[in-house]
Amino acid sequence: MTRTTTRLFDKALVLDAIVASFRKLNPRVQLRNPVMFAVYLGSILTTLYWLRSFTQSSTESTGFTLAVAIWLWFTVLFANFAEAIAEGHGKAQAASLKKSRTSVPARRLTDLKSRAAVEVAAPDLKVDDLVLVEAGESIPADGEVIEGVASVDESAITGESAPVVRESGGDRSSVTGGTRVISDWLIVRVKALPGQSFLDRMIAMVEGAKRQKTPNEIALAILLAALTLIFLLVVATLLPFSMCAVQTSGQGQAISLTVLIALFVCLAPTTIGALLSAIGIAGMNRLSQANVIAMSGRAVEAAGDVDVLLLDKTGTITLGNRQATRFVPAPGITDREVAEAAHLASMADETAEGRSIAILAKNLFGLRGRDLEQIQPHFVPFSARTRMSGVSLDGSEIRKGAAEAVESHVKSLGGFLPDQSRAVVQQIAKSGGTPLVVSRDAKVLGVIELKDIVKGGIKERFAELRQMGIKTVMITGDNPLTAAAIAAEAGVDDYLAEATPEAKLALIRDYQKGGRLVAMTGDGTNDAPALAQADVAVAMNSGTQAAKEAGNMVDLDSNPTKLIEIVNIGKQLLMTRGSLTTFSIANDVAKYFAILPAAFAATYPALKALDPMRLTSPSSAILSAVIFNALIIMALVPLALRGVKYRPVGAAQLLRNNFLIYGLGGLIVPFVGIKLIDMVLYVSGLA
């Protein structure tokens, strides 16, 4: 899989984001973020107050008012920049998808039998129209193959250069508009209207500007808006208190509008308010970089809270095809004799199992293919009725297949299945493998063990998930004995054997009744009910249209193990939001010690005791806090975009680490930062 990723601060993206930062000063755009809208209004009021100072005398320095106004505008622009740069990454990815969205002519069938067709523009197609697509032509719309088998180039969608096979029936019948048929032909039933195709939905979801806020993000935004309103009321009441204190004591002066606005901006949770949208957009971008398209932001967030993973055995936990692992000879037969017979019987077997038998024979005994023209064999293909395959050669009949089928075959020729071989068959079956018996004429030569090969490193991945508090459940159509053996080898927590669509659905509902969030993958029509029920449902892009419509995510790589990566991305999103919220709150606490003594020291001299930084002057303290408030937003933009690295540890340790790094760090950094800015202002003569 080849993916093109854009550098975090690509020059073109940064320039576009700077322009977008000014464009986002539109009041209607600012109104979407209540916290930053309040700062935006404060910037306007401070600017107007500065302009007013030219016509009316003021006790406050115009230079101080201008400096505060400028840095408040920078605070708003930095928040806009954080959102714009995150959106820019999404739009860069969407741009590559848009290149593949072309309007192509379509041959709409008017009669399926005669293949009579009329040429129409792709946008004129309707749901359930039938279209004929031949080699070299692009598929005009999303749909399902009802006839034909063809190789399809999906590189415009997935980035994978290797073509894939699409055919009618089964789990590989879904096709995407914009992909190209490179061999043979297909008849496709249209399943999506123009503008509502899978590609259109992908583009809309990848573009950050069209991203819908998640429930958690909405709840946090409401909390931040409430805190902003509380601080606004607190600051508004300080002016009359200050005026009363001056009149009563007869000393000092009432707090000015500039100081009030600066105080409000430093008290309000501006840091997380400025970065909240960027965090969410960046989370969606990371998912799309993993070649997964989420149909809703809710699904991404839910992935971070998942505590049960339902994983299909074949292709996810195991390699997908059973492999020959050993030859077990019958009494009086050598290993090599069994291998030679099995190799001959597998020469025309193009299945993965057949090829693995030939490879094992070659590796163990150096056996190689023979010249078929010289030996002139007669191959017997496998059939579901006989459950055997083999070859007739030099007057001998060599067969391999299911134990019962081969035993019946040798009995018809006067032979029998030895007790030792029968015991081997039973032992292999109990261990979760598949036994194949090999015979020559009426004599059983031995047994081949086929085994599901568990993917390397998958057991360690499941151990990591267990550390996260996530339960793994393997789903398989195998019998309970086989399922139990593979589950034990893979290290999953539980398994569902002989799984049916109804059993999968019932299992998900049982977990959900217990208050657990469930994630699963699927690609077939029979997976659709369970996918629709799961909280995080990842459909394979190679799967059926029904599966893709039932899921809330689509994996363009069709890699079932991607579910583990999706969970990590979801947890990283929640971690980033939580960590920066902790930092923001701790940050605000530290800023109180800078700005409160400065704002009220003239009226209440006792407040000077709350100034541990010993800042140069009240105006320097206020300006330093405002400058720091703006700069810290820019400093945290890379972290918001990259995300906080998630490590598979327990919830208690995560919370402890969060408080130590972002809580304690949020308290210390402002003290250091504000003091350094104050020193710079003093040295430069601006204090």
Three-state helix/strand/coil letters over 162-223: CCEEEECCCCCCEECCCCEEEEEEEEEEECCCCCCCHHHHHHHHHCHHHCCCCHHHHHHHHH
| Residue 107 included in any domain | no
119 lies in a domain? no
CATH number at residue 142: 2.70.150.10
- Of 169-173, 276-280, 586-590, which range is least confident? 169-173
Instruction: Give the residue numbers of the binding site.
Output: 349, 353, 382-389, 400, 523, 527
Residue pair 607/596 in contact (Cβ under 8 Å)? The answer is: yes
Same-domain pairing of 371 and 506 = no
Distance CA 595, CA 261 (A): 11
Rounded Cα distance, 399 and 342, in Å:
8
pTM of the model: 0.66
Query: Taking a C-beta distance cutoff of 8 angstroms, is the pair 547, 526 a contact?
Result: no
pLDDT of amino acid 489:
85
367 and 482 share one domain: no
Q: Is the pLDDT of residue 373 over 60?
A: no
Same domain, 424 and 485: no
Domain boundary among 556, 590, 611: 556
Which residue has 């390699």 as its token pair? Answer: 319
Q: pLDDT: is 361 or 256 the higher one?
A: 361
Task: Check if the beta carbon of residue 298 is closer than 8 Å to that of residue 214.
Answer: yes
CATH of residue 347's domain is 3.40.1110.10
Residues in the chain: 687
Query: Given this model, what pLDDT does residue 422 score?
Result: 93
Query: Domain boundary residue among 556, 584, 616?
Result: 556
The total of structural domains in the chain comes to 4
**85 is a domain residue:** yes
Which of 50, 61, 38, 32 is closest to 234 using CA atoms? 38
Q: What is the pLDDT of residue 406?
A: 93
Strands 164-167, 149-153: pairing is antiparallel
Highest mean pLDDT among 78-82, 426-430, 461-465: 78-82
Task: Indicate whether 470 and 410 sit together in one domain.
Answer: no
**What backbone phi and psi angles, to 5 degrees, belong to 379?**
-85, 140
Q: Is residue 186 within 8 Å of residue 133, measured between CB atoms?
A: yes
State residue 2's pLDDT score. Answer: 40
Looking at the DSSP bridge assignments, the partners of residue 294 are 553
Question: 621 and 641: one domain?
Answer: yes
C-beta neighbour count of 342 within 10 angstroms: 26
Whether 429 and 479 have beta carbons less than 8 Å apart is answered as no
Token digits of residue 509: 């509902």
In a domain, 72, yes or no: yes
Look at residue 118 and tell me if it is in a domain. Answer: no
Three-class secondary structure of residue 296 per DSSP:
coil
The rounded percent of the chain whose pLDDT value lies above 90 is: 17
How do beta strands 396-401 and 434-440 pair?
antiparallel
Question: Is residue 301 assigned to a domain?
Answer: no
Domain C-terminal end among 137, 166, 193: 193
What is the average pLDDT across 360-369?
82
Instruction: Tell me the sheet residues that pair with 135.
Output: none
Is 572 contained in some domain? yes
Q: 57-66, 279-288, 420-429: which range is least confident on average?
A: 57-66
Compute CA distances 102 → 156, 315, 418, whole Å.
11, 34, 66
Q: Euclidean distance between the first and final Cα of the chain, in Å?
A: 57
The confidence score (pLDDT) of residue 78 equals 93
113 in any annotated domain: no
pLDDT of residue 85: 85
Question: Hey, what are 575's tokens?
Answer: 């971690």
Binding-site entries for Mg(2+): 523, 527
The reply to whether 442 and 334 lie within a common domain is: yes
Tens-place pLDDT, residues 153-208 = 876 565 555 677 888 766 677 887 778 888 888 999 888 776 666 666 666 655 55
**Domain match, 435 and 517 both:** no
Burial of residue 466 (CB within 10 Å: 0-12, 13-18, 19+) is middle
* Same domain? 215 vs 88: yes
* Domain carrying residue 16: 11-93+207-288+568-684
Catalytic pick among 312, 478, 555, 678:
312
For residue 4, the model assigns a pLDDT of: 45
Q: How far is CA 306 from CA 310, 379, 465, 580, 582, in A?
A: 11, 51, 10, 22, 23
Q: How far apart are the C-alpha atoms of 436 and 425, rounded to whole Å? A: 8
Residues 6+ apart with CB under 8 A from 11: none
User: Tokens at residue 136, please?
Assistant: 């070299």
How far is the C-alpha of 400 from the C-alpha of 435, rounded, in Å? 10
Shared domain for 230 and 88, answered yes or no, is yes
Tens digits of per-residue pLDDT, 308-319?
Answer: 989 877 767 877
Q: Are residues 611 and 644 in the same domain?
A: yes
The answer on 669 and 602 residing in a single domain is yes
DSSP letter at 387 equals -
Does residue 312 carry a catalytic annotation? yes
Q: Reply yes or no on whether the pLDDT at 209 is more than 50.
A: no
Q: What is the mean pLDDT of the chain?
A: 81
CATH code, 470: 3.40.50.1000
**Do 349 and 364 belong together in one domain?**
yes
Return the pLDDT at 205: 56
Find the mean pLDDT for residues 636-651.
Answer: 80
Q: Which residues pair with 443 in a beta bridge?
A: 416, 440
